[in-house]
Chains A and B, each alone.
Chain A
Amino acid sequence: MFSNFDFGVIIRTLPYLFYEGMTFTLMLTGLAALGGLVFGTAIALMRLSGYKVLGRIAGVYVDFMRSLPLVLVIFWFYFLVPYIGQWVTGASRPISVGAFASSLITFIMFEAAYFSEIMRAGIQSISRGQPAAANALGLTYAQTMRYVVLPQAFRNMLPVLITQTIVLFQDTSLVYVLSITDFLGAASKVAQRDGRLVEMYLFAAIVYFTISCVASFGVRRLQARIAIIR
């Protein structure tokens, strides 16, 4: 039944798929997760700050980002940023922003909305006595967050954060709308060139599945370990 298929194409293009494609995918995932976590934590702190205006701005941002399909955001951002850049800098022509930079910023902004909700839950899971004790020792608000609240919130939320990152890892494949050579993009290009659609897409599916599955398994083990420590 597989006589018409040529799975050798996978072996032949492995270096291309992984060196170019997977490197890009992992880099985008890693940087976007990191940026999203930092930005998301800032948004969570804004929401919990007690300043109504700050909280409102953060709330609107989160709701806005979560109400839009990711593909659309990637798409719009890519086409809009050059014009916004032109408007901000007053240049005569639209600023050229690389596809990587554009997609990275998009993912950071988008993921920040989700990470902020996770971090917010994490911060709220810390009993109020903890910041009170830190304040009583003379730590400032920033120090209390930095040394007492956020480390605990982060630890409590680590499994959820990694799970969200696995989703992000899969979502990065959406950059195909910008014709970027991520892992799926690379597989897709080979598929089109050699007419080996079934083989390449099957292989891509297996790779995404395997990586996500292993990561999920790791999360479960981590959860068990954290549960013992606490």
Chain B
Amino acid sequence: MIEISHVDKWYSPSFQVLTDCTTSVSKGEVVVVCGPSGSGKSTLIKCVNALEPFQKGDISVDGTKVNDPKTNLPKLRSRVGMVFQHFELFPHLKIIDNLCLAQQKVLDRSRDKAMVKGMQLLERVGLKEQAQKYPANLSGGQQQRVAIARALAMDPIVMLFDEPTSALDPEMVSEVLDVMVDLAHEGMTMMVVTHEMGFARKVANRVIFMDRGEIVEDAPKDDFFGKPRSDRAQKFLSKILSH
């Protein structure tokens, strides 16, 4: 589904952010990307839907090359759902309109159809009653669930999560993770940047460990948690799992 091959990204010759990153996510697979802050994991996931440009290598999603200038990026992105660390709901629109906007403008769905779809998804994330409110009136966890519903409203073929729980108060993390676990169990293809190792243990097929812009380890979940091969991954795991 996602093919990332030999991707390099730099801001200047002396400031390399990604170095020779190669990996893939197959259909129905859940891949967790972890690593210390500044390791380039957010940058890598943003390269997948071309929110960040890169200088070398190729990324393709469902056979469409992301870095090809001829690619219709809006069309490609409409099929790739993305959830951001800071939710990024549109504060001037009601919750239901947050879900309807792109359905109507990008997919040309009628207002009625978009509303039905939107309400279905709000119900699914347990927020049907909040449809007429504005984002500022919702808690962080609720906003992030709306953001997931907004991405799902586009019927994406793959979902990207960029640290979806990092900006949340601890007691709200699980309500968001629950939605994501459900999604994984339904067979959604997911690429998730997160520090939530519990989530990784529960639903991930593979874990990618990044450090200093490189993919240091790319292993099936059990191998990764059982016996990480690299020192850096061992160190990282011991740090975040000891608490």
Contact = CB atoms under 8 A, between A and B. Distances in A.
Contacts of A139: 74, 101-102, 105-106
A179 interface: no
B84 A138 contact: no
B92 A138 contact: no
B88 A138 contact: no
A140 B76 CA distance: 11
A222 to B, nearest CB: 16
Contact of A140 (B49, B74, B91, B154): B74
Interface in A119-139: 127, 129-130, 132-139
A218 interface: no
Contacts of A130: 88, 90
A19 interface: no
A129 B136 CA distance: 16
A137 B92 contact: no
Contacts of B84: 129, 132-133, 136
Interface string B155-166: 000000000000
A147 B88 contact: no
Contacts of A220: none
Interface residues of B, number: 27
A215 to B, nearest CB: 24
Interface stretch (A78-86, A95-103, A148-156, A167-175): A148-156
A135 B51 contact: yes
A140 B90 CA distance: 16
Contacts of B81: 136
A138 B86 contact: no
Given A143-B105, A147-B101, A230-B136, A136 B51 contact: yes
B150 interface: yes
Nearest to A126: B91
B150 to A, nearest CB: 7
B91 A138 contact: no
B64 interface: no
Nearest to B52: A132
B135 to A, nearest CB: 11
A136 B89 CA distance: 12
B102 A137 contact: yes
Nearest to B76: A138
A138 B90 contact: no
B30 interface: no
Nearest to B105: A143
Contacts of B102: 134, 137-139
B82 interface: yes
Contacts of A152: 90-92
Contacts of A133: 82, 84, 88-90
A136 B92 CA distance: 18
A138 B81 CA distance: 9
A148 B89 CA distance: 10
A83 B206 CA distance: 73
Nearest to B46: A132
A143 B75 CA distance: 13
B159 to A, nearest CB: 11
Given A130-B88, A151-B92, A138 B101 contact: no
B233 interface: no
Contact of A135 (B77, B89, B90): B77
A136 to B, nearest CB: 4
Interface string A190-230: 00000000000000000000000000000000000000011
B210 to A, nearest CB: 21
B192 interface: no
Given A129-B84, A130-B88, A151-B92, A138 B154 contact: yes
A145 to B, nearest CB: 12
20 contacts: A130-B90, A133-B84, A133-B88, A135-B73, A136-B51, A136-B81, A137-B101, A137-B102, A137-B154, A138-B75, A138-B77, A138-B78, A139-B74, A139-B106, A143-B105, A143-B106, A152-B91, A152-B92, A229-B136, A230-B136
Given A133-B90, A138-B77, 15 more contacts: A129-B86, A129-B88, A132-B51, A133-B88, A134-B90, A134-B102, A135-B74, A138-B74, A138-B102, A138-B154, A139-B74, A140-B74, A147-B105, A148-B90, A229-B136
